[in-house]
Amino acid sequence: MRVAAVDLGTNTTRLLVADVADGRVEELHRESRITRLGEGVDERGRLLPLPIARVRNVLADYRRTLESLGAERTLAAATSAVRDAENGEAFLGEVEWSYGFVTQLLSGDEEAELTRRGVDPPPGTLVLDIGGGSTELVLDDFHVSLPMGSVRFTERYDEDVERCSAEARALLPQLSPRAAIGVAGTVTQLAAFDTENVHGYELSRARAREQLERLAGMSVAERRGLPRMEPERAPVILAGAAILVAVLDAYALDAIEVSEHDLLDGVALAAAELPEPVEGDAPPGAYTCC
């Protein structure tokens, strides 16, 4: 079955179109755009009009793409920013009505579990997903979603690396992983500074710390100009890198393997399990979002 998975993240809005069969995801198209949906949510507790407009513009493009590729089911999963916003469910109602996507507001546990499905890690391997508003840790049967992320910490602590690191260390649970796999924007961006082929790259703890120190010595404008830097990630990459180094230090991990398989792959598997679409009434909240 051909499906589309959309990740309505705090920092990015992402799309995966894939064929799913026998629990396997065969990627056809994947893209990501920074929309900063969670801008101001940590302080105000609401999704704001300008971030919503940015996401809507991207979703219009994504709908054209997935339709052109023949996706039969589309599942749009919302994470930290929408969970924390008082108008989050209304926003999802509008997404359903405007674009025809099935939406799901993921709890932290559900987000971690779908990340596990997408990565399918070996036993004893920690899966680390540093998002914009939350960070998921998955280790065997354990999983947790922590209220720390690149956007959340940037808005709280600006570029104070020490405060970001201290807060991250205070939130981390006691775990004893043998190895680690890192997914999503922060880890893939740091790997991209070293290689064009980030999937499977081993980012050492020493190299991650070097990257953190280098980025901390730059202005946002200087970061934007770095080779292979995604420009709109430059304002929040420092907080994300601080979280990564804190995790590697806390669990005495010498390196982390970078994976491009992540939450989106888990959402694609869930999309294939959706019932056949049925025409119906507008979902609750479709006209009340903003």
Closest C-alpha among 208, 276, 277 to residue 246: 208
Residue 285 within any structural domain of the chain: no
Q: Is the pLDDT of residue 240 over 60?
A: yes
Q: Are residues 99 and 126 in the same domain?
A: no
Q: Are residues 44 and 150 in the same domain?
A: no
C-beta separation of 196 from 212 below 8 A = no
Structure tokens at 152: 């959340």
Q: Which tens digit of pLDDT belongs to each residue from 251-265? A: 999 999 999 899 999
Q: Are residues 247 and 170 in the same domain?
A: yes
Beta-carbon contacts of residue 121 (< 8 Å; ≥ 6 apart)? 127, 138, 181
Q: Which tens digit of pLDDT belongs to each residue from 133-179? A: 889 999 999 999 999 999 999 999 998 999 999 999 999 999 999 99
Q: How confident is the model at residue 287 (pLDDT cuts 50, 70, 90)?
A: very low
Q: Are residues 91 and 147 in the same domain?
A: no
CATH of the domain at 233: 3.30.420.150
Question: Which residue's entry shows tokens 């991650």?
Answer: 208
Q: Which tens digit of pLDDT belongs to each residue from 96-118? A: 999 999 999 999 889 889 999 99
For the question of whether the overall pTM of this predicted structure is more than 0.95, the answer is no
Q: Are residues 184 and 219 in the same domain?
A: yes
Residue 148 within any structural domain of the chain: yes
Q: Side by side, which strands form the sheet with 12-21?
A: 24-34, 12-21, 2-8, 73-78, 102-105
Q: Is the pLDDT of residue 62 over 50?
A: yes
Q: Are residues 221 and 254 in the same domain?
A: yes
Residue 290 within any structural domain of the chain: no
> What is the DSSP code (8-state) at residue 179?
E
Q: Are residues 128 and 98 in the same domain?
A: no
Domain that holds residue 50: 2-108+265-272
Q: Are residues 186 and 240 in the same domain?
A: yes
Q: Are residues 86 and 129 in the same domain?
A: no
Residue 289 within any structural domain of the chain: no
C-beta separation of 13 from 53 below 8 A = no
